[in-house]
Structure 1
Amino acid sequence: MGLNRELRALLKEAGWTGQHLADAVNACGREIGQPLHYDRTSVAHWLAGTLPRQSVRLLAAEALSRRLGRTVTAREAGFGGPPAVALPPARTGSSRLLDKEQAMAAMEELAERWGRRALLANGAYSLAALAVPGFSEVARAGPGPVLGRKAGVPVEMFEVDSAAAMLEMFHAGDAAFGGGHGRRALAGYLAADLVPRLRRPAAPQVRARLLEVAGQLVYLCAFMCYDDELHRHAQRYYLTALRLAAENNDGQSYAVPLRGMSVQAQRLGHHRQAVQLAEAAASGVALPMQQAFVYGQLALARAGSGDRRGALTAFARAERLLERASSPATATVGAYHYASLLHQQAEMQVRLGDRAGSLAVLRQSVDHRPVHERRSRAVVLARLAELELDCGRLEQAVAPWHRFLDDCPGLSSGRVRGALMSLGGRLRPYARHSGVQSLLHRAARVLAAG
C-alpha cells in the first residue's frame, strides 16, 4: 500500500482540502439515497493508500469530475485498476485483436463508466426534474385532470375532513419523532385512500378542498422522505404535490413544494437551481406568513450562490413579512415562526462568511423552538455544536451536543442519524479531553440503541 499521489494532485488541482472532498462525496451519496458520513480523516486514509469500497471510489471520481469539469476515473484518482485503453481503429480487409491484458483493461474501464452512470442515475435525484414551470405559466395553460377521468360514487366532505385529520396526525408525528417514523404509513395511506378518492367525482367545492388536503399530505410525505435522506422519493412526491396544486389552480399551494424543492436542491449542493426554485415560489404567494416562509428560503439560497446583497434583501423582507403576520402560523404545511427565521438567519450568515456571528443567532433559534418540534430542535442543536467546534470553541460545543443526545432517543430521521454519526469523526481528534470522552461514550450508546 503506497501513498496516493494521484489523489493528492487532483485535490491540489481542484483547490480542495480533504474535508471538501469528503463533503462532496457525501453529497453525491445523498443524491442516490446512500447516506455517507466521510470526513477529512477518511480522505487522509485514502491519501495514505487505503482503498474505500468500490461504490465510494466511483462517487469520489464523480465528485472530482464535477469540480474539475472533466471526466476523472477511479484509477486516475489513484484508486487502482488497469490503465485506460483505447480500442484500435478498424482496418480494411484485416482485423486486429486486443491481447488479453488490453481487453481486460478496456472492459474494466467501461465497467467503471457504466457503473458510475448507473450508480448516479438508477432512481436517483434528477436535476432535469427541477426545470418546472412557474405558477403563472401553469395558470395560463389551464388545469389538467389529475389521475384521468373520474368515476364512481361522488366524494363527500366528511371524507375530506377525515383526510385533514390524518394530516394533523402525521404532521405531529413527524415534528416529534422524525420523518422515518410514519413515512411508510403515510405513503400507504396516500396509495390506498387518497388516490381512489381523487379518481372519484366530487362537487366543485368538495373537489377543491380534497385537492388542497391531498396536496398537503403529499407535500408532508415529500418532506418526511427528505428528512430521512431519501431524496429521489422526496423529489417525486414534491412533483406530485405541484400537479395537485396546478389542478386546483392554487398558487399558494403550488409555491410550498417549490420551496421544498429549493431546500432540497440547496442541501444537495445545486445552488443555482435552489435560487431559481425559491424565486419561482416567491412569485406565487400572497399571504404574509407564507411569503415570509418562502423569502427566508430565498435568502438562504442566494447566500449559498454567493449573492450577498440579494440574500440580505430577501431576508429583510422575510423579517418584515413575519412581523406583519397577524398571528403565529398554525398550518401543518408551510408553518413558519420566529425560531425558523432565526435558523435561516444563522445559516445565511455562515454562507456569507460570518460563522462567529451565526452562533448567537442559532442559540436564540434553539431557545424559541416550540417544545413539540423535537426533531427540528435536534437538527439545530447538532448544527450549533458543529459551528462552535468549527470556531475553535471545544468546551462550548460539548453542551449543545449533550442536549442533542437528549433529543435523539425515539427519533427516526436520516438528518439526525447523520449528525449523530458525524459527531464521532469530528470529535475524534479531541478524544483525550475528559469532557469529550464522556460525550463520545454517550453518543456510542445512543447510536447502538437506535
Structure 2
Amino acid sequence: MKTPNTDLTRWLERSGMSRNELARRVKAAAQTWGQPHITPNASTVRRWLEGDQPRTPVPEILADVFSGHFAYRVTTYDLGFGEGGTAERSLAYNASFAVTVEAVTDLGRADVDRRNFLAVAPFAAVAAVGPSRDWLLNTLDQQPEPGPRVRLEDVGAVRNMFGEFQKVDVLQGGGSGRLILAEYMNQHVFPLLRRTHTEEVRRALCEAAAEQTYLLGWMAYDNGEHGTAQRYLIQSLRLAEESKNSALGAHVLAGMADQATLLGKPEEGRRLAQSGRAGLGKAASPACLADLWALEARALAKLGDKAQAAHAVVQSEAAFGRVRPEEEQEWAAFIDPAYLHGEHANTFRDLDESKQAEEHARRSIEHARKQRRARRGAMSQAALAVSHLQRRDLEAAHAAGLRTLSLSRQVKSSRCVEAVQDLQSRMEPYGKHRLIADFNERARELVAAA
C-alpha cells in the first residue's frame, strides 16, 4: 500500500496551484531541461500525491518549479522525494544553464544542512575529464529562468562580499566561515541565477557566482572534504564558462589540479593544469599562469620528472614577473610570493633537492609572516623542516617542526594537519631519537583533534 506524499501535498496547497497548473508548469520546465518526453497531466499529479515515485529527473524538475514559484530554493527532499541525485548531479558538467543552476543550488543547500550523503561523497578520480574538455570547447546552452530582472547593482553587492570571505579563508583556514558563505550563497546569490537578466548582467552574475562557488570548493578542500570540494569546483567551472571569463575558468582548473595531485593523482593534476594554460590565453592573467605552471611543477615532481618540474618552476617565476596587480582580478590577490615560493618549496622537497626547497621555503615564510598568514606559514615551515631532514639536520628540522605546530594551531585547515602528519612520517626513519619523540608528543593533540 502506497503512503501518500504529505510533503508534496503541503507544498502544492501553499502554492495555490491546481493539479492542472502544476502539470503544465512541469511540462514547460521539462522542455528547458531537455526532457520533452515528460508530459504530465492532472492524473499524473494525483498519483504523485498518492505516493507514486516519479522517475529522475521529474523530482528535480518539480523542485525547480516550486523554487521558481516561491522565489527561494525548494529541494526534492522538501517535496518528499528524498535526496535526489545531488551528489551525482553536481559532478556533471551540464550544457544546460538551468540544470547547472539547480545542481549548484542543491549542492549549497545540502552543504548547509550537513546532509550525510554529502559528507561521505567520494572524490571521483575521472570526474574532471569531461568538465575540463567541455570548458575548452566552450559550448553553451543559455536558458535563464523568468522572474524579476537582476541589475548590475545586485551583482555589485555579491562581488563586495567575495573579498571578505576570501580573507577569512586565507587568514583563518577553510574550516572557518565556509558554512556562513554557503548560507549567503543559498539565500542571496543562487536565487539571482534563476531570474532574468540582460546579457551584460547575466555574464557578470555568473562570474561573481563562479568566484564564490570556487571559494566554497576551495574552503571545503582545505577542510579535507574532498568530495564536496570537487562538486563545487565542477559547478564553478561551468558558471565561469557561462561568464566568458577564461582566466576565471583557468583559475578553477588550477584548484582542481591542486586537489588531484594532493589526492595521489598527479597525472590528472598535470593534465588539468595544462588544460588551464591552453584555455587561458597569453595575456589574460599572468598570476593565474604562474599558478598553473607551479601546480604543473608539483605534479611533475610527484611523477619524478626532475627536468620538466624544474622547467615548470622557471616558467612560473617568469609568468609572475609579468604580473601587474592592478590589472589582475580580485581572486588572484593571493597568488603571490608567499604562495608561489611555498609551492616551489614543495616541488623541490618532492624532488629531494633540499637546498632549493629550503631557499623557497624561507622566502615563502618571510612573506607569510609579514601578512600574518598562518596557514601558508605552517605549510612552508613543514617544507623547511623536511629540507633539514633530507640533510639529516635533526635539530633544525625539530625547530621548524615546532613552528609548524604553532602556526597550525592558529587556523582550521586539514592541509596544515596533513603537513604535520607528513612530517611525522618522514621522521620515522630516525626512530626514538629524543627530538623526534618530543615533536611527536607535541603534535599528538593537534593530530588527534583533527
1:152 maps onto 2:147 in alignment? yes
Partner AA of 1:201 in structure 2: T
Question: Aligned equivalents of 1:414 and 1:215: distance in 2?
Answer: 24
Deviation at 1:256, TM superposition (A): 1.0
What corresponds to 1:319 in structure 2? 317
Larger RCO of the pair (alpha carbons < 8 Å, separation 6+) = 1
Compared CA separation, residues 228 and 329, structure 1 to 2 (3 A): farther
Compared CA separation, residues 184 and 398, structure 1 to 2 (3 A): same
1:64-75 correspondence to structure 2 within 5 Å: none
What corresponds to 2:398 in structure 1? 398
Question: Aligned equivalents of 2:276 and 2:448: distance in 1?
Answer: 41
Which structure 2 segments of 5+ residues have no match? 1-116
Deviation at 1:240, TM superposition (A): 0.4
Question: Aligned equivalents of 1:357 and 1:313: distance in 2?
Answer: 14
TM-score (norm 1): 0.66
What corresponds to 1:337 in structure 2? 336
What corresponds to 1:143 in structure 2? 140
Compared CA separation, residues 395 and 223, structure 1 to 2 (3 A): same
Compared CA separation, residues 303 and 371, structure 1 to 2 (3 A): same
1:345-384 correspondence to structure 2 within 5 Å: 345-369=344-368, 370-384=370-384
What corresponds to 2:11 in structure 1? none
Which structure 1 segments of 5+ residues have no match? 1-118
Compared CA separation, residues 310 and 386, structure 1 to 2 (3 A): closer
What's the secondary structure of 1:201's corresponding residue? Answer: coil
Is 1:375–1:416's contact at 8 Å kept on the other side of the alignment?
yes
What's the secondary structure of 1:415's corresponding residue? Answer: helix
Aligned partner of 1:246 among 235, 241, 244:
241
Compared CA separation, residues 260 and 152, structure 1 to 2 (3 A): same
Aligned partner of 1:234 among 229, 233, 251:
229
What corresponds to 2:209 in structure 1? 214
1:182 maps onto 2:180 in alignment? no
Is 1:328–1:336's contact at 8 Å kept on the other side of the alignment?
no
Question: Aligned equivalents of 1:186 and 1:177: distance in 2?
Answer: 14
What's the secondary structure of 2:150's corresponding residue? Answer: coil
Aligned partner of 2:200 among 193, 196, 205:
205
TM-superposition CA deviations, 1:70-100 (whole Å, max 9, x none):
xxxxxxxxxxxxxxxxxxxxxxxxxxxxxxx
Compared CA separation, residues 385 and 306, structure 1 to 2 (3 A): closer
Compared CA separation, residues 392 and 292, structure 1 to 2 (3 A): same
What corresponds to 2:161 in structure 1? 166
Is 2:136–2:279's contact at 8 Å kept on the other side of the alignment?
no
Question: Aligned equivalents of 1:278 and 1:260: distance in 2?
Answer: 9
Which 10-residue stretch deviates more, 258-267 or 190-199? 190-199
Is 1:356–1:391's contact at 8 Å kept on the other side of the alignment?
no
TM-superposition CA deviations, 1:286-324 (whole Å, max 9, x none):
322222122221222223223333323322222111112
Give the number of aligned pairs.
Answer: 327
Is 2:287–2:328's contact at 8 Å kept on the other side of the alignment?
no
Question: Aligned equivalents of 1:185 and 1:378: distance in 2?
Answer: 25
What is the identity percentage for the equivalent residue pairs of Structure 1 and Structure 2? Answer: 28
TM-superposition CA deviations, 1:357-389 (whole Å, max 9, x none):
312221222112252322111122123223423
Is 1:175–1:372's contact at 8 Å kept on the other side of the alignment?
no
What RMSD in Å do the two structures reach over aligned CA positions?
2.9
Question: Aligned equivalents of 1:438 and 1:227: distance in 2?
Answer: 27
TM-score (norm 2): 0.66
Compared CA separation, residues 277 and 141, structure 1 to 2 (3 A): closer
